[in-house]
Amino acid sequence: MTFLNFLISGISLGSIYAIIALGYTMVYGIAKMLNFAHGDVIMVGAYVCFFAVARYDLPPALGVLLAMFVCTMLGIVIERLAYKPLRQAPSLAVLITAIGVSYLLQNGAQLLWTSSPKVFPNFFKVADQTGVKLFDGQLNISYVTMVTIAACVIIMLALTWFTGKTKMGKAMRACSEDKGAAQLMGINVNATISMTFAIGSGLAAIAGVLLCSAYPTLVPTTGSMPGIKAFTAAVFGGIGSIPGALLGGLLLGVIEIFAKAYISTQLSDAVVFGVLIIVLLVKPAGLLGKQVREKV
């Protein structure tokens, strides 16, 4: 049962990585930009939800919705002010800008909310019980774990339907293939890219709440390492692919938890990135990614 406990914990952590990775993979797939400030949007969403619930006594569901709204608006503002002027700029300029936006959000959070850790409340309790016990208590599944896995599955199914069936989703796919041709066909490329940032940032708020519910310490740098690992998950699965983000996130979470359990807590991150290097040496485009040949 210990193995099953670790496996479920890994799937839960991987589900959070997968939700975060969606923001990276959607933005890169459509705008061909790496938004390294995405991890800090997670932190902003967690802080908004924390203060809405802990300080202003709003219901948790309303706190999550408020966090999603704030992060969605933040994603649109970041795209308009920081990334839109750099559409035709070299990728290095975009990367440096993304790092600058990341530090801006972190330092802004320190000024607004100080660096002292906040204890994130546990929203997922039923009759003061935090989970269910199976097999005479040998297998313990927390409500946070169940909600996280369910949220990941629902979000993935909803995004798959959205990109395949709706007009905006088809516009996103068209921009991903060829922005110039999409514009000639009457698609508003700027609005499509802004919508992509909005969706990714809204999902980041959900991921921030789920992350802080499972690991309840909240500080201005909370989103940094999960953001990097989620980017790793997106590359692992094949950046630009929604199923790849799911697969990469789940595998990364399971590998990390098993590495902590059976190897070393200090070496778990090294194991995770080591596995990524090995996979990319064998399959450079990621597990579900497609190798794209550039025309000269």
- Which residue is it, tokens 């485009």? 285
Asked if the model's pLDDT at residue 121 lies above 60, the reply is yes
Res. 130: pLDDT tops 70: no
Is the model's pLDDT at 68 over the cut of 60? Answer: yes
Side chain identity, residue 294:
E
Q: Are strands 118-119 and 131-134 parallel, antiparallel or unpaired?
A: unpaired
Measured distance CA(2)–CA(260) in Å, rounded: 13
Give the pTM. Answer: 0.91
Residue 126 has pLDDT above 70, yes or no: no
pLDDT computed for residue 290 by the predictor: 67
Residues for the chain: how many in total? 296
Placement of tokens 């690991």 in the chain: 215
CATH architecture for segment(s) 2-282:
Orthogonal Bundle (1.10)
Q: How far apart are CA 269 and CA 85, in angstroms?
A: 35
Question: Can you say how many angstroms the Cα of residue 100 is from the centroid of all Cα atoms in its chain?
Answer: 19
For residues 3-7, average pLDDT = 87
> Does residue 296 have a pLDDT over 80?
no
Q: Give pLDDT tens digits for 48-60.
A: 999 999 888 889 8
Alpha helices (runs of H) in the chain, residue ranges in sequence order: 2-31, 38-50, 60-78, 91-113, 143-165, 167-177, 179-184, 189-214, 224-237, 242-262, 268-282
What pLDDT is recorded for position 143? Answer: 86
d(CA 250, CA 21): 11
- The answer, yes or no, to whether residue 147 has pLDDT greater than 80, is yes
The answer on pLDDT for 277 being more than 90 is no
Which of these, 262, 259, 260, 8, lies nearest to 133 by C-alpha position? Answer: 8
Residue 225: is it exposed, middle or buried by C-beta count within 10 angstroms (0-12/13-18/19+)? exposed
Confidence of residue 292 (pLDDT cuts 50, 70, 90): low
Q: Which residue has the higher pLDDT, 85 or 138?
A: 85
Rg of the chain on CA atoms, in Å: 19
Residue 279 CB burial class (10 angstroms; 0-12, 13-18, ≥19): middle
> 72-117: per-residue pLDDT in tens?
999 999 999 998 888 888 888 888 998 999 999 999 999 988 888 8
Of 5-14, 23-32, 44-53, 223-232, least confident by mean pLDDT is 23-32
Are the C-beta atoms of residues 202 and 71 closer than 8 Å to each other? yes
